[in-house]
Amino acid sequence: MILHGKPNPKQAEFFRSTAKFTAYGGARGGGKSWALRRKLIALCLRYAGIHCLIIRRTLSELRQNHVMPLLAELGGRVAWSAGEREFTFANGSRITLGYLACDADTLRYQGQEYDIIAIDEATQLTEYQFSTLKGCLRGTGKFPRRMYLTCNPGGVGHAWVKRLFIDRDFREGENPSDYRFIQALVYDNDVLMDSDPDYVHSLQSLPDHLRAAWLEGRWDLFEGQFFPEFSKERHVCAPVELKSRRRFAAFDYGFDRFALLFCCMEGDMLYVYREFCKSGLTLSQAAGELARLCDADRQRGFDIAYAVASPDLWNRRQDSGYSGQEIMSRTEGVPPLLRADNRRIPGWRALRETLDGHLRIFEGCRELISSMQALLCDPAIPEDASGEPHAVTHAPEALRYAVMSRSGDRCDVRVDRTIGGLANF
């Protein structure tokens, strides 16, 4: 079989990758979809009987970006089943095409086996969907088991793609050598540059955050970002010695994630100097961690005045009849727990004011930093943050509680309702 077209250097690098997980792209116009299709065709021609899967978010995107191009490229030389959405090669290799519009769609893939899985526009999928597909990467044949992803900054999957392939912030069980990122910009795509040179000019004319993501391939600015004004250069610093002995904590509790921040005021600057983020903790276990960290600060001569938390912590639980606040307060060493002002839009507005020259986060607070960058706008309420992806909401919520706790009277310390009034703490 002869296929026309020559890969550019970045596409050729993508073709050569043998990493278990390879992400390709990072900007618009890099020739990602073409490279993905050709990679799978080459694997099918090389390994008789291999089974490949291409995934897009919606069925219409799948048809437009892969079904129609593959029919044109393969030109009837490979059998096509429209009902199964599957190409079958003469040597028994197959390319199946599927979609994942929502978490419920994962049910059709559970229990399935694929040797190669290709996810086009991976940042449009949730981490749960990605994890489900990873579980399908198995089989008994002597074939490579790999996943190939294309991606652009932004979307509901921005955080997990950035964590794995850009920040390389791996969790337990994730092998760093399994993950490789190959960045491709529009300038790497010679075919597009020759056929449509005005495309670059259209990208250059975009608003700053879109141009940074779509043209420059930056992962700290992207469409739909809730805090585009947040930047590591302006808001993140190396640890410094803080003179104030009075400190406070803020946390967002959920069994899926306990996000705890420790804060200090220096003049009109709010410092977040420590974070503790962990999943799977009961209320009593979360209280134990809070007490442990508070005790460590007390031993250094600091006074932890209070810990502010979401008001739902004061709701009585059906299983015990006690509220979360009561359960946590039983633990020795837990500071006074304060009910947060949980008004969302006023809280986010106050946090934006704090971002305007009144916030520093120690560089060790990695989850808070990455979550502030990854938090998305609610498409229905632009002034509110989206609840998805849920994993990135916990630390910013805790920071919102912290800021709002300084906008009124807290812990017998009078604080004016202005950012400048924070200096009184």
164 shares a domain with 240:
no
The answer to whether the CB of 406 falls within 8 A of the CB of 261 is no
For residue 189, CA distances in Å to 123, 222, 381 come to: 21, 21, 37
Tell me if 158 is assigned to some domain: yes
Question: In the structure, what pLDDT confidence band is assigned to residue 193 with cuts at 50, 70 and 90?
Answer: low
175 shares a domain with 51:
yes
Which of 183, 214, 245 is the last residue in one of the domains?
A: 214
Greatest mean pLDDT among 110-124, 195-209, 411-425: 110-124
Which of 186, 214, 242 is the last residue in one of the domains?
A: 214
Q: In this structure, what DSSP letter does residue 187 have?
A: G
Average pLDDT of the segment spanning 209-221: 72
Q: What is the pLDDT of residue 214?
A: 67
Residue 196 reports pLDDT greater than 70? no
184 shares a domain with 57:
yes
State the residue range of the domain holding 265: 232-424
245 shares a domain with 201:
no
Residue 408 reports pLDDT greater than 60? no
Amino acid at 124: Q
Domain of residue 90, CATH code: 3.40.50.300
Residue 213 reports pLDDT greater than 70? no
Residue 409 reports pLDDT greater than 50? no
237 shares a domain with 199:
no
269 shares a domain with 158:
no
Question: In the structure, what pLDDT confidence band is assigned to residue 3 with cuts at 50, 70 and 90?
Answer: low
Q: What is the largest CA-CA distance in the chain?
A: 79
Instruction: Determine how β-strand 94-99 pairs with β-strand 86-88.
Output: antiparallel
Tell me if 3 is assigned to some domain: no
Whether the model pTM is above 0.85: no
DSSP calls for 126-181: -HHHHHHHHTTB--SSS---EEEEEE-S-STTHHHHIIIIIS----TT--GGGEEE
d(CA 172, CA 340): 33
Residues in the chain, overall count = 425
d(CA 282, CA 290): 12
For the stretch 338-370, pLDDT in tens is 999 999 999 999 999 999 999 999 999 999 999
Q: Which two tokens stand for residue 35?
A: 């490279």
154 shares a domain with 242:
no
